[in-house]
Amino acid sequence: MKPFKSNSFRNATLLFLVLIIFSNCTSDTTESQTKNSKLVTMSQMQKVKPPVATKVPHEMTIHGDTRVDDYYWMKLSDEQKEAETPDSQTANVLSFLNAENDYTKKMLSHTEKFQKDLFDEIVGRIKKDDASVPYKNNGYYYITRYEEGKEHPIYARKKENLEAKEEIILDENVLAEPFDYYRIGGQSVSLDNKILAYGEDTLSRRIYTLKFKNLETGEMLPDVIENTTGGAVWANDNKTVFYTQKDDALRSYKIFKHKLGTPSSQDQLVFHEKDEIYGCFIYKTKSKKYLVLGSYATLTQEYKYLDANTPDGEFKIFEPRNRDMKLEYGISHYNDKWYIRTNLDAQNFRLMECPEGKTSRDNWTEVIPHRKDVLLEGMDIFEDYLVLSERKNGITNLRIRPWKGDEHYINFGEDVYSAYTSTNLDFDTEVLRVGYTSLTTPNSVFDYNMKSKDFKLLKEQEIVGGYDKSQYKSERLYATTKDGVKVPISIVYKKGYEKDGKQPLLLYGYGSYGASMDPYFSSVRLSLLDRGFAFAIAHIRGGEEMGRQWYENGKLLNKKNTFTDFIDCGEHLISKNYTSSDNLYAMGGSAGGLLMGAIINMRPDLWKGVVAGVPFVDVVTTMLDETIPLTTGEFDEWGNPKDKEYYDYIKTYSPYDNVAAVDYPAMLVTTGYHDSQVQYWEPAKWVAKLRDVKTGDNPLIMHCNMSAGHGGSAGRFERHKETAMEYAFLLDLAGKIEMPN
């Protein structure tokens, strides 16, 4: 795929302005104030005229119900977006997006200097010449480091010890130079340490081209493989790699085998996942003995395995998929056994084991039983220890279980935190690499001796300019919902924050896919906290913070629990005088953007301002269109609206379908033109409809990153320009922007 050429597209759009009506004019008052170098408030900027999208009614009928989408024309195919010369529809869409960006720039023009200062402040806290903690793998220490003045990482390694000469594997700064967007995907080195395989994405749609580099000579091999997920898995012969390709809907659906030195057209198809609700992947076990091929859906998984020494052999089934019983499982290998984390008769999962040659579930025996109040999230296996990641009351605990002897939990000394096992590639060691953070503790990496229980701090994130943890306070609160459930809230603020109901508070949420939003430190967030904001995370249903049932009770026909939980958390914070509806702000992205769309429809009066990032807001239409990336694999999360029961339910909360003539809070919506997960047209249509229907004068602005996708800009610092814009939007609404002299 060609990189997006913004200038050529913009020039072409000048010829096509038939469908779009917008104004680039400001009032004389605004021009005068700008000339006099005086800042104006966002409310004064309301005299700037917003873009107005032409309505082209498009009828969609199913189950005897007809919906009319006036902005359906904004949807473009990949071919239209990538064309060298845009057709009229593409040009009209680009004109509208550029008009929205121009409008947002004008609406925030009074914050431009502040945005720049805020950006400098945010990136000023980031150590410019930073480096990761090295980890050892197969005789080499691997390091990711950054150099001052550069946006992208440098990947390096040292042989045997950290005093050895550094070998630069890849310098992403050099590779990124020709592109507006560039990101390296999975990296893997052959067992003989000679060849590196890596993926590169130059469009931000998470479609990677697989490339190979000779690490001894520095030369690139002629092998190039298009349209992959970015990773390659090596067999033990150092010449065979397995990789996954995507279909037109960006579903991982085929696994191929490639022999170095042969054209990719000759690659052998190893596996084709024909069921469209499944994706597939491949990996090598920590023991390096097996290649494991997996198929996954939300409700069930299936694995096959092959001896990594015989890559031309046939994969054997581990345990067949079983959607009827919703069997989920994951596997790890050690010595002559397989270890299985599974929900078999265990909602919160349990741990089983079986012999190498007898993998069907009839041969599984229990190692760790199921517990109603503890979610078994993962495991790490060592020669003498089994390490379990267990979530209880919203917090992940690390349990050290010797194969022989007494077990214990790691004591981190805080009540509200996020802990996880990091890179642990060796079996024969007593040292566990651990990651740790909290709302007040910067990201840290420890080596923990599982025998002596001693911690060794390897690195704590350095906050340039200094950071005094004692000046900030975190709490864990619980909001009781309308149906009697207690929802955890993690909150942090700078000491001196008055609980008088007058202070600004930003409430963040996600609540989908069983993804738990752990309390974590953010140096970026200090720009809000130091200006008087509190920041809170609502651990709402739809995640797994409180166990698997927390997820089950926030999906499918229980999805609205996610939205009402978030609203109840906001009301709880108000009732406890942390803030008020005049000072309460909300933020969420992707499925969290859906959350934002739902809560403003349900309770538009509760929020002063909302930031909705890459929001999934046109749920009914998207879930009915199986050509859109990721749709088919999402049926187990949202339901398939081709089933009338799900159609009717989804329609009751889909933000786009429930826009009403009400006074919505001030809103900033962000999107990416190349987003593969939530296509740009969803937020664009939503903003157009909101602007047409809503009442009141609260600002509604949208920023579309024309050269990025779902994750925004790839650069280490560049991405924070959007952060500065979002924070300036919030701080402006809260009256917290410093006025110039």
Q: Is residue 483 part of a domain?
A: yes
199 belongs to a structural domain: no
Check: pTM over 0.95? Answer yes or no. Answer: no
- pLDDT-above-90 percentage for the chain: 81
- 247 belongs to a structural domain: no
Give a yes or no: residue 623 inside a domain. Answer: yes
Residue 590 designated active-site: yes
Instruction: Give 134's DSSP letter.
Output: P
The overall average pLDDT reported for the chain is 90
Domain stops at, among 580, 608, 636: 580
Residues 490 and 409 both lie in one domain: no
- pLDDT band at residue 709 under the 50/70/90 scheme: low
Which CATH number fits the domain that encloses residue 497? Answer: 3.40.50.1820
Say whether both 543 and 654 belong to one domain.
no
- Contact between residue 207 and residue 227 where contact means Cβ atoms under 8 Å apart: yes
Catalytic one among 590, 676, 707, 713? 590
**Domain shared by 64 and 89, yes or no:** yes
**Residue 239: inside a domain:** no
Residue 159: count of CB within 10 angstroms of its CB: 12
Are residues 480 and 457 part of one domain? Answer: no
- Can 370 be counted among the known catalytic residues? no
DSSP 269-338: EEEE---TT-EEEEEE-TTSSEEEEEEE-SS-EEEEEEETT-TTS--EEEE---TTTT--EEEEEETTEE
Does 357 fall in a domain? no
527 and 450 share one domain: no
Q: One of 568, 657, 675, 732 is an active-site residue; which one?
A: 675
pLDDT in tens, 356-368: 989 999 999 999 9
pLDDT tens string 304-359:
999 999 999 999 999 999 988 999 999 999 999 999 999 999 999 999 999 998 99
Q: For residue 180, which of 161, 204, 163 has the smallest C-alpha distance?
A: 204
Phi, psi of 169 (to 5 degrees): -80, -55
Question: Is the same domain home to 451 and 503?
Answer: no
Q: Is 675 a catalytic residue?
A: yes
Last residue of a domain, one of 462, 483, 500: 462
> Does residue 561 sit in the same domain as residue 677?
no
Q: How high is the pLDDT of residue 250?
A: 81
Active-site residue among 380, 710, 713, 720?
A: 710
**508 shares its domain with 446:** no
Residue 417 sits in the same domain as residue 517: no
Nearest to 485 by CA among 505, 506, 511: 511
**Tens digits of residue pLDDT in 170-186:** 999 999 989 888 889 88
What is the per-residue pLDDT across 217-227, written as a single tens digit (0 to 9) for each?
A: 999 999 999 98
Q: Read off the DSSP letter of residue 553.
A: T
For residues 283 and 731, what is the distance between their CA atoms, to the nearest angstrom? 45
Instruction: State which amino acid sits at residue 321.
Output: R
Read off φ and ψ for residue 377, nearest 5 degrees: -95, -30
Q: Using one digit for the tens of pLDDT, what is the confidence trace for 528-571?
A: 999 999 999 999 999 999 999 999 999 999 999 999 999 999 99
690 neighbors 658 (Cβ within 8 angstroms)? no
Domain count, the chain: 3
The pLDDT of residue 415 is above 50? yes
Residue 712 falls within a domain, yes or no? yes
Distance from C-alpha of 352 to C-alpha of 341, rounded to nearest angstrom: 6
Neighbours of 292 (CB within 10 A): 22
Per DSSP bridges, beta strands 195-201 and 208-214 are antiparallel
Query: Taking the CA atoms of the chain, what radius of gyration do you get in angstroms?
Result: 26
End residue of a domain, out of 439, 462, 485: 462
The reply to whether 423 and 476 lie within a common domain is no
- 139 lies in a domain? no
Residue range(s) defining the domain that contains residue 446:
386-462
Say yes or no: 30 and 69 in one domain: yes
Structure tokens at 121: 């402040």
Q: Which amino acid is at 273?
A: E
CA–CA gap between residue 419 and residue 397 (Å, rounded): 7
**Same structural domain, 443 and 489:** no
pLDDT greater than 60 at residue 685: yes
- According to the model, what pLDDT value does residue 662 have? 98
pLDDT at position 585: 98
**Distances, alpha carbon 304 to alpha carbons 73, 296, 339, in Å:** 44, 12, 14
